[in-house]
A = this chain, B = another copy of it.
Amino acid sequence: MRTLFVNPNITPEITAHMAAEARRAASPHNEIVPVTGSFGALYIANRIEAALAAHAVLDLLAEHAQGHDAVVVSAFGDPGVWAAKEMLDIPVIGVSEAAFHVARMLGRRYAIVCMTPRLRTWYVECAHEHGLADGLVAARYLPTPVDDVTRAAQDLSDAVLDQCRAAVEEDEAEVVIIGGGPLAGLAHRLAPHVSVPLVDGIACAVRLVEALAGLGLAAPRSGSFARPEPKPSKGLSPHLAAFIEGKT
């Protein structure tokens, strides 16, 4: 199968970094095809940038989804994910919903560790918007600001480990999610050093779309996730305009 792996920020280095974790986690038969946002912000750190990213996700899907079997939206916070599910006949999953689902299969108390207080607020909102906040016992962030997001996974490894341990010891988390694209791969690397499962949304999303694709469920033909009626548009990219106007 081919999984379209969508990074809705504009930084190819982050795409490459996240795609590496996706490929590490994927089944052999699952080809990861990464794409990077064509507009937006260097990375996504607040609701404004997430709103731009949601549009960027849909734009990328309009252009690239054809020929793929599934989509992973790889920005913790899941910008545009429910709209993307509405848009396509193939399974779509966001990396944070994937992490929340897996965390809740593994235990009853989960925590999130992320980079900044601002992301923390947004990620907690995200858990509530997915209706998966039950069991979320803490959301922690790093005590010092992040200098260079492209080096976060290296530079911040110790600080992330400290917060994971604090989540276990102080919050009694039974599962810890490490959230945020720049931290991709850290869960895998730090796992031996923490006494509960460390979960990376990218790995989870990759495996969950394999599961969904494997189930082979038909796309809905009614309800709010059926493909919408076409209507006129303006000012959109050609591919997205074609989708909105029903010309695809």
A interface residues, Cβ below 8 angstroms from B: 10, 25, 27, 38-43, 45-52, 54-55, 57-58, 80, 82-83, 85-87, 91, 93, 97, 101-102, 104-109, 117-118, 120-122, 125, 128-132, 134-135, 168, 172-175, 191-192, 195-199, 203-204, 207-208, 210-212, 214-215, 217-226, 228-229, 231-236, 240, 244
Contact = CB atoms under 8 A, between A and B. Distances in A.
Contact of A220 (B40, B107, B203, B222): B107
A220 B50 contact: no
13 contacts: A39-B234, A39-B236, A42-B233, A48-B228, A85-B107, A101-B105, A109-B224, A117-B224, A173-B223, A198-B217, A199-B217, A207-B211, A207-B212
B197 A231 contact: no
A231 B45 contact: yes
Contact of A86 (B38, B48, B192, B195): B48
Nearest to A188: B216
Nearest to A50: B83
B220 A25 contact: no
A217 B130 CA distance: 24
Nearest to A223: B174
A242 to B, nearest CB: 13
B118 A47 contact: no
Number of copies: 6
B197 A207 contact: no
B195 A48 contact: no
Contacts of A208: 105, 208, 211
Nearest to A57: B51
A118 to B, nearest CB: 5
A173 B190 CA distance: 31
Which 5 pairs from chain A and chain B are nearest by CB? A39-B235, A131-B134, A207-B211, A195-B222, A121-B224
Contact of A85 (B86, B106, B244): B106
A48 B87 contact: yes
Nearest to A92: B105
Contact of A101 (B40, B49, B101, B220): B101
A236 to B, nearest CB: 6
